Amino acid sequence: MALLKILRYPDPRLHKVAAPVTEFGERLAKLVADMAETMYDAPGVGLAATQVDVHERVVVIDTTETHDELRVFVNPEIIWASEEKQVYDEGCLSVPGIYDGVERPSQVKVRAQDAKGEFFELDCDGLLAVCIQHEMDHLMGKVFVEYLSPLKRNRIKAKLQKEERGMEREAALKAAGRRY
């Protein structure tokens, strides 16, 4: 297994639409294992392949405190959503340190395949419902901050770009220090 690099908003690759998975085998099993390791290390409760620059319809989720209920969703689709909505403070591994309320259906039914290609359906509510909708947005090229006002979104974008420039400068200084 290997830790994968998580793309940071506003990286344009986060807006690519993921393609359906058509081949189930060792490559997909390795991707799922690497995504799970990356999610747990971050730490997070969900990760879409888009976030690690793999543009395929793959999501891993584990909403438990004990990290022992990994769920894998390949080619997920929401086949039912409740009319009842809930607002949940969401965060994202691609938007570190930012949390804000997003309104979504409070319950959904998901149809997906597992890592071996077997179909299943799952009724989701609470954090799991929020998480699957959030991760499926990533597969469609959408980041949760796009639900926020343009003003909030622009402030978040500017803040993360400034942090990125700071990290790049710090890395350059460290690299320069090693050469001399």
134 is in an annotated binding site: yes
Q: Which backbone phi and psi does 147 adopt, to 5 degrees? A: -85, -15
Residues 6+ apart with CB under 8 A from 161: 10
- Where are the strands (E) in 84-161, listed by range? 85-92, 95-105, 107-113, 119-125
CB atoms within 10 A of CB 160: 20
Residue 27's φ and ψ, nearest 5 degrees, are -60, -45
Considering 69, 90, 135, 170, which one is annotated as catalytic?
135
* Cβ pair 144, 95 in contact under 8 A: yes
Is 138 annotated to bind a ligand? Reply is yes
Asked about 135 being catalytic, the answer comes back as yes
Q: Which two tokens stand for residue 168?
A: 């790049």
Q: Was 92 annotated as part of a binding site?
A: yes
Q: Give the distance, in angstroms, between the CA of residue 104 and the centroid of all CA atoms in the same chain.
A: 16
Catalytic annotation, residues? 135
Binding-site entries: 92, 134, 138
Binding-site entries for Fe cation: 92, 134, 138
